[in-house]
Amino acid sequence: MKRSASENLRRFYARFSGNDRVLVTIDADPDAIASAMAVKRLLWRKVACVTISNINVIKRPDNIAMLRLLGISLIHIDDVDLSEYNRFAMVDSQPDHNPAFPAAEPDIIIDHHPDTSAKAAFADIRPEYGANASIMTEYLKAAKIKPSTKLASGLFHAIKTDTSNFARKTSMEDVKAFQFLFQYANPHLVRKIEYADLRLDFLRYFKNALNDMRIRKGRVFVHLGNVVNPDVCVLIADFFMRVNPVSWSIVSGLYEEKLVIVFRNDGVRKNAGNVAKRSFGLLGSAGGHKSMARAEIMTDKLQAEVDAEDDRQLSGWIIDRVETFYGQTKNDKNRKQHEEPSLS
């Protein structure tokens, strides 16, 4: 049974006491950063301290701008002494999402990704929400906290980002949270963050992508070879979704002995998470939402499949797997629709 916002807040606060030292761990992106900010505000003057720790290296210009403009301090997990903390929280992620998360079982999980049955004393997982920031906004409202301009701007930006300005999966709760935050956010601050998403050294990848892209039935495939940052795959995948008549963009790159594959689609009767998982789930981590997904495979796992050092061969291998499993996913969906009784 769905719990009320006040009940969720009560259960959340019940996990903490005044002497607690809380570590919030995140895989830092706008939604995770803003959600961690909200947790810190909720626990202000209720615990001894709250530290936000990122497991990833933050290199995207917009994320760096968000931290700078909103005055957010993060400590990388490698620099954290876990023994100094007695309470652990996780937002916008679950322990199974990344092996870099601390081994300690979290006391709190608040997330909007599909439930992986992770164990926690308190778990609030709502995959129907487009952004975790929307869930955290409900907590702030239940606590009768008026968010500061910086907190509201962070949450506002996170909802815009994770819903792609409401073009991707969105619930009415996301809309309500967005409307609430609009009263307190600074749109000029948000715009500064949004416009800081490109670095000069990223531009050469756009040139390579335009030269080497391969198009099949509205699906654009691009393999960038070695990249200085896997986030460039995200930027280029999002870029191609603005091109008519592209309905899918699949962009890959090699980074630190890992193959990263980013999936985007127009959200019309498609499921990127299923395609990613079916295509690459047996080789590495893979999954996501209907319109956006990601797969990551260590290159040593590819040795029996393809020569990862041969960009053209690797590109062809990615296309073949996606095309094969895309067809299977589509056939399964058609079969399911055929088996379902008519609603008329």
Give 86-108 pLDDT, tens digit per residue: 999 999 999 999 999 998 899 99
pLDDT at 334 over 70: no
CB-CB neighbours of 211 under 10 Å: 8
Q: How much is the pLDDT for 337?
A: 44
**CB hemisphere CA count around 120 (13 angstroms):** 27
Confidence of residue 254 (pLDDT cuts 50, 70, 90): very high
Please tell me the pTM assigned to this model.
Answer: 0.68
The CATH number of domain 202-335 is 3.10.310.40: yes
CA distance between the termini of the chain: 29
Mean pLDDT of the chain: 91
Provide mean pLDDT across the span 33-59.
97
Please give the average per-residue pLDDT across 246-255, as a whole number: 96
Residue 340, pLDDT score: 37
The Cβ of residue 204 has, within 10 Å, a number of other Cβ atoms equal to: 12
DSSP string, 183-251: TT--HHHHHHHHTT---GGGHHHHHHHHHH-EEETTEEEEEEEE-S-THHHHHHHHHHTTSTT--EEEE
- Return the higher-pLDDT residue of 209 and 268: 209
DSSP-derived secondary structure letter, 20? -
CB 220 within 8 A of CB 250: yes
Q: What percent of the chain has pLDDT over 90?
A: 79
Per-residue pLDDT for 14 more than 50? yes
**With 80 as the cut, is the pLDDT of residue 293 above it?**
yes
Q: Where in the chain is the domain with CATH 3.10.310.40?
A: 202-335
From the number of C-beta atoms within 10 Å of its C-beta (0-12, 13-18, 19+), residue 84 rates as: exposed
Q: Mean pLDDT check: name the lowest of 1-15, 61-75, 301-315, 326-340.
A: 326-340
For residue 331, is pLDDT > 70?
no
b/e map 162-190, b = 16+ CB within 10 Å = bbbeeebbbbebbeebbebbeebbeeebb
Q: Could you tell me where in the chain the CATH 3.90.1640.10 domains are found? A: 5-194
Q: Are 145 and 46 in contact (CB under 8 A)?
A: no
Residue 238 in contact with residue 265, Cβ under 8 Å?
no
Any residues with CB less than 8 A from the CB of 231 and at least 6 apart, and which? 59, 60
Instruction: Return the closest-CA partner of residue 263 out of 171, 196, 325, 328.
Output: 325
Q: Find out if CATH 2.70.98.70 is the number for domain 5-194.
A: no
| CA count, 13 A, side-chain hemisphere, 299 | 16
